[in-house]
Amino acid sequence: MTTASSLKEIIKAGAADLGFSSIGFARALPVTESMREHYLHWLSVGGHADMRYLENNLDKRFDPRLLMPGVKTIVVVALNYFPSCRLPEGEPQIADYALGNDYHDLVKAKLRLLAERTGFQLLQRDAVAVKEGDPPGYRAFVDSAPVLERYWAVQAGLGWIGKNHQLIIPHAGSEFFLGELFVTEELPPDKPMTSRCGKCHRCVDACPTQALCLPARQVDGYGEITGFSSYRCLSYQTIENRGELSAGAQAAMDCTFYGCDCCQRACPWNRFAIPTTEEALQPRRELLEMTRQKWDNLTVETYRRLFKGSAVKRVKYEGLMRNIRALKS
């Protein structure tokens, strides 16, 4: 007979086989009141800029049991995306996470494989809790549902939240995609991890638009949280923003026209990062051969070919050209 502890070990072994770098388990309970208050305050002061979807489904965001009836455990996985190579030095750059294929599809496919190999059955969005005698049920989420991913990663013991708002995994860094399996099986939870950032604030100092600010405040069940303005952040400006780039963004872009990794590259924990071996996350040869002149003359056809199956398509051709035109000469 498979016990909860042995099932947990089976899931961990399966995650490693699928290439996940880290995995943890948390009880599916409402978030702490402190976390709830912090998130609502952040919305109230406009910290999310115009990303209105972050205001939706707050009841489910704060209580995973409302998102999937019957959920007992949240399994959180991390997939390394630290690049083995970047675009040529001196040429326009894009953020590390977008060099390969879209992580949403990749991580979700791996999560479903993990669940199905373990014997879980997929539950539909409107499904009620599984009945007694049914196989354990699951749903997979990857940055596309009202799930506080980093909160649950902390609860599951994967790492802590750095002052740059990224999940930091000890002796591994922060360049990881997160994904979650909500399962109806009650599995032994892992112990949440406390921050190891100490007095370091290199990420705050490195932010070119001062999107991060100190002092940090303590939030139960999450750790210290610095102030964060999405509107100022270059990742927001060059990806989520559908209007014109702010003057601050244009002045701070330097050579990166999609996203920003300044706070991550400043983090001392990323000196432990190991390049990913995941084939789907490797940049395509044509992308590596792009030059400033080629970017300036990028056509819709080349854009579609370069970024087929890529997260970069989120910004669309017009948005990408807006960013390219704003690059410094």
Question: Mind telling me the catalytic residues?
Answer: 143
Q: Which residues pair with 176 in a beta bridge?
A: 80
Contact assessment for residue 194 and residue 218, using Cβ atoms and an 8 Å cutoff:
no
Question: Terminus-to-terminus CA distance in the chain, angstroms?
Answer: 66
Query: What is the SS3 assignment for the chain?
Result: CCCHHHHHHHHHHHHHHCCCCEEEEEECCCCCHHHHHHHHHHHHCCCCCCCHHHHCCHHHHHCHHHHCCCCCEEEEEEEECCCCCCCCCCCCEECHHHCCCCHHHHHHHHHHHHHHHHCCEECCCCCCCCCCCCCCEEEEECCCCCCCHHHHHHHCCCCEECCCCCEEECCCECCEEEEEEEECCCCCCCCCCCCCCCCCCHHHHHCCCCCEEEEEEEECCCEEEEEECCCCCHHHHHHHCCCCCCHHHHHHCCCEEECCCHHHHHCHHHHHCCCCCCHHHCCCHHHHCCCHHHHHCCCHHHHHHHCCCCHHHHHHHHHHHHHHHCCCC
Rg (CA), the chain: 20
How many Å apart are CA 94 and CA 103, to the nearest integer? 15
**Tokens standing for 237?**
């400006």
Q: Which residues contact 125 (CB under 8 A, 6 or more apart)?
A: 139
